[in-house]
Amino acid sequence: MEQHPLLDALVDPDPRRGIRFYDGLGGWDFHPYTELARAAFVLADRLRSLGVAPGEVVVPATGTGPEFVATVLGTVAVGATPAPLAPPLVFENPDAHRRHAERMFASIRPKVLVTRPEWADPLGAVPVGPDCPRVLKVTMAELSAAAGVPQALACTPERALVQFTSGSGGPAKAVAVTTDALSANLAAVRRWLRMGSSDATATWLPFHHDMGLVGCLLTPLSIGADLWVMRPEDFVRTPLEWVRCFGTLGAQLTASPAFGLEHVVRRVRAESLEEMDFSGWSAVITGAERVPPQVLRQFAALLSPFGFRSTALLPAYGLAEATLAVTGSSRDDEPRSVSVDPRALDVGRRVRPSTDGTEAMELTGCGRPLVAGSRVLVTDRLGRPLPEGHVGEIVVGGPSVAEGYAGADAGTGEGVFSGGQLRTGDCGFFDQGELFVVGRLGDSLKCRATTVFAEDLEASVARLPELRTAGVAVLLGAAGGRDTAVVVVERRPGPWTGEVVRRLRRRVPGLDVVIVNGPRGTVLRTSSGKPRRRAMWRAHLAGELGGRAFESNVLDAGSIAATG
């Protein structure tokens, strides 16, 4: 087993480098790595006093701040395993957060929950029976004021991390990441980005999610590189401050889902970039969801007059069950896209180019395997490898694949983790050696010998001018014995409703379409911002989705009458 990849951050931190946290007012609070290491040893003493032993689980639930970093490092110092939890403020519904936390605690049975004082009561009140964790309240001010004396480190745990899946396809599951898997993935990301300790990262991603945790925190932390951190809510309010990290403050590396880049395009004006220089911005990893090619083009068009190079855009594919990164685009090439006929996308079939521009599905390439010794295959429904150019399930094997699900979720990995391989449940194909991701098999619908993907229909709906700034999600399934698409839109009814039905029926003739509209929050999302399609589908069938529903047969008659 390899040495823990965060050990150097504890025993030999560089006092010149550290993490800057945005204060919400235009300034940054600097915490050098030496201070964070001292705070970690203070916290490690407190964990030991609460009986935390090597191999046990500690939950950091402190939000995006220095307390989180100190908690992760302090947990490593005692040989325990961190299992990050989203703070309450990420969930608009307090009951939803309570249910999420309750399930998490019951699943992994942590020894201690570390949180901020203002969140201790709601988190500590989660009822999980006699094995509920002890609650440790911390602030960076009191951790820094205490005397943190470096001490003998516990042995490196076999399990370095427990991270929860996003929950987009069902309840979030605990993924057990070994120390070797974490080390392999961090090394792969650093090698891919040609990343050294002088290359600074800036991020707005939450630390409780794999892309923010592994990609934007643990990777720079493992080599002592500088880091600029914004809370997600601050990025939503002022995306220009995140952009300024690269145009003015010297950051070079980042990662973001496509909706983050789209938010920048909508909210940042070219005139506000006049004094910035983005020629040093070398990498924008884009993943966590399908990457629309037009978003990459719009983002590059906004920034290129100020030195940004489109080769810095690096579409990628990864998932928590593989620690994080699986494939990634080359730093030397432009992002590549292909236009395919969506009617030919079915497991086992060969991809064919679109011959009708109105029906084309444009997909972004997600690069080639990144982790040394890894294997990425596309397989048919029986698990047999398919040749290049054929659609199938993406299967991943290699040193960064997690050991399986943890705790109460351990028994649910059968058929997902098998023989050192991970069946991802994602559908894709290879073209010229590059992986293209189509969508989730579990969110698809077999209709008239063709597999229809929710992501495809969702992208089509979201392109309507009236809905470009609205929250949209498409759910697929059988309702009343008929193939049905439920389109959930955070927008008032209008002429767009009829166009949605016509657009989807052109794509899938005979499809029943139900439009559910409502205010912000009608589209249920995971803590990382992905639509919770299966949860919304179940809620729709039970009549509990919320909003107002409009049936396609009513719309076809030219009127819009609420039917539910």
How do residues 452-480 score in pLDDT, each as one tens digit?
888 888 888 888 888 877 888 999 888 87
Residue 97 near residue 121, CB atoms below 8 Å = no
Residue 390 near residue 383, CB atoms below 8 Å = no
How do residues 382-429 score in pLDDT, each as one tens digit?
999 999 999 999 999 999 999 999 877 776 666 688 888 999 999 999
Domain, as residue range, for 452? 448-556
User: Phi/psi of residue 143, each to 5°?
Assistant: -65, -40
**528 domain-assigned:** yes
Q: Report whether pLDDT(365) > 90.
A: yes
Residue 60 near residue 163, CB atoms below 8 Å = no
- The mean pLDDT value for 73-102 works out to 81
Least confidently predicted of 100-104, 108-112, 357-361: 357-361
Q: Report whether pLDDT(435) > 90.
A: yes
Least confidently predicted of 39-48, 308-317, 373-382, 529-538: 529-538
Q: Which amino acid is at 452?
A: V
pLDDT for position 103: 81
pLDDT for position 358: 60
Contacts of 245 (CB under 8 A, 6+ apart): 202, 228, 251, 254
Least confidently predicted of 17-21, 113-117, 335-339, 503-507: 503-507
Q: At what angle do helices 239-247 and 258-267 cross, to 10 degrees?
A: 100
Quick check: helix, strand or coil at residue 556? helix
How do residues 137-185 score in pLDDT, each as one tens digit?
999 999 988 866 667 677 777 899 999 887 666 678 899 999 999 999 9
Residue 89 near residue 53, CB atoms below 8 Å = no
**128 domain-assigned:** no
Residue 317 near residue 367, CB atoms below 8 Å = yes
Confidence of residue 125 (pLDDT cuts 50, 70, 90): low
Total count of domains within the chain: 1
**466 domain-assigned:** yes
pLDDT for position 177: 95
**481 domain-assigned:** yes
Quick check: helix, strand or coil at residue 263? helix
Q: Report whether pLDDT(373) > 90.
A: yes
CA distances from 438 to 28, 66, 108, 219, 413 (A): 40, 38, 32, 28, 23
Residue 283 near residue 312, CB atoms below 8 Å = yes
- Give percent of the chain above pLDDT 70: 90
pLDDT for position 166: 74
Instruction: Return the HEC string of 4-15.
Output: CCCHHHHHCCCC
The Cα 519–Cα 538 span in angstroms is: 20
> Roughly how many angstroms between the first and final C-alpha of the chain, as a whole number?
58
**29 domain-assigned:** no
Confidence of residue 561 (pLDDT cuts 50, 70, 90): very low
pLDDT for position 324: 93
Confidence of residue 57 (pLDDT cuts 50, 70, 90): very high
The Cα 297–Cα 261 span in angstroms is: 10
pLDDT for position 558: 35
CA distances from 211 to 156, 158, 320, 408 (A): 23, 22, 8, 24
pLDDT for position 296: 96
pLDDT for position 551: 64
Average pLDDT of the chain is 87
**101 domain-assigned:** no
Confidence of residue 564 (pLDDT cuts 50, 70, 90): very low
pLDDT for position 131: 60
pLDDT for position 559: 34
Q: Which amino acid is at 264?
A: V
Q: Report whether pLDDT(317) > 60.
A: yes
**464 domain-assigned:** yes
The Cα 463–Cα 472 span in angstroms is: 10
Confidence of residue 448 (pLDDT cuts 50, 70, 90): low
Is the pLDDT higher at 555 or at 490?
Answer: 490
Report the length, in residues, of the chain.
564
User: What six digits make up the tokens of 358?
Assistant: 């109105």
**390 domain-assigned:** no
Nearest one of 318, 284, 320 to 302, comparing CA atoms: 284
CATH code for the domain of 456: 3.30.300.30
Confidence of residue 216 (pLDDT cuts 50, 70, 90): very high
The Cα 256–Cα 310 span in angstroms is: 15
Taking every pair of Cα atoms in the chain, the longest distance, rounded to a whole number of angstroms, is 75
Least confidently predicted of 106-120, 231-245, 492-506, 525-539: 525-539
The Cα 210–Cα 189 span in angstroms is: 13
Least confidently predicted of 18-32, 213-227, 496-510: 496-510
The Cα 527–Cα 286 span in angstroms is: 18
pLDDT for position 155: 76
